[in-house]
Every structure is written in C-alpha cells, then in structure tokens.
Amino acid sequence: MEDLTFRHTVPASAAGTRLQAIVGVVASGNLEVLAERVLSPTECLFEIRTAAEGFREVWTAVIADFVQRYSPGGLKLSVNDGGARPDTVALRLAQALRMMETGR
C-alpha cells in the first residue's frame, strides 16, 4: 500500500451543488472515488490510497491533467485504488466530477 497526497490551487470551483458523490468499486484493476465539497472554491485535494507501489510519477501526471482540464475547486477527492490503469483512474475522476455536477 502507498498513500499519496496532492494539493492544487485552481481558478474556479467545480460546478453543481451536490455535496458528496461516490463512483467506482474497490476491486483489482478498479478504484473508488469519493468526492466531497468541503474546501474553499480555489482549493482541491486528492488523498490516494493505492495497492500498487512506485507509481507516484504517473499519479502526479494524471492528477495534474485532471486539475488543468476540469478545475475541480472546492473538492476533496479520496481515492481507494485497487491497482487500476491510469486511463481508468482518469475516467473515474471525471465520472465523480460529473456526478457532483449533475447527480448522475
């Protein structure tokens, strides 16, 4: 297990008013993302607990792209990862954000 934390400052807050959302499942090759609207609008925080060690660089890149693309201000995103591939991680993060925005 490895714990990783990333904190970013962003220009805008995540859309929508929903306070909490959860997507995905904790399973091998998959991951669960819990999104909570608990921070100030220009802050976002990622707390990652992953089964696969030694992928810090990849996580850094995936999260940086996600932040740049969506500006998820105000969100704390907790990730419970079962060794998912980076593209699956990016997809689940986007799904969590959509759920915060639209509730689906």
Instruction: Give residues in contact with other proteins (CB under 8 A).
Output: 52, 55, 57-58, 61-62, 83, 85-88, 91, 94-95, 98
Q: Is 72 helix (H, G, I), strand (E, B) or coil?
A: coil
- Between 46 and 55, whose beta carbon lies closer to other proteins? 55
- Between 20 and 60, whose beta carbon lies closer to other proteins? 60
**β-pair partners for 3:** 49
- Between 10 and 93, whose beta carbon lies closer to other proteins? 93
Smallest gap, in angstroms, from Cβ of residue 84 to other proteins?
9
Euclidean distance between CA atoms 87 and 104, whole angstroms: 20
**What kind and span of H or E run contains 49?**
strand 43-50
For residue 31, how many C-alpha atoms fall within 13 Å in the half-sphere facing its CB?
A: 27
Smallest gap, in angstroms, from Cβ of residue 94 to other proteins?
6
Amino acid, res. 5 = T
Smallest gap, in angstroms, from Cβ of residue 56 to other proteins?
12
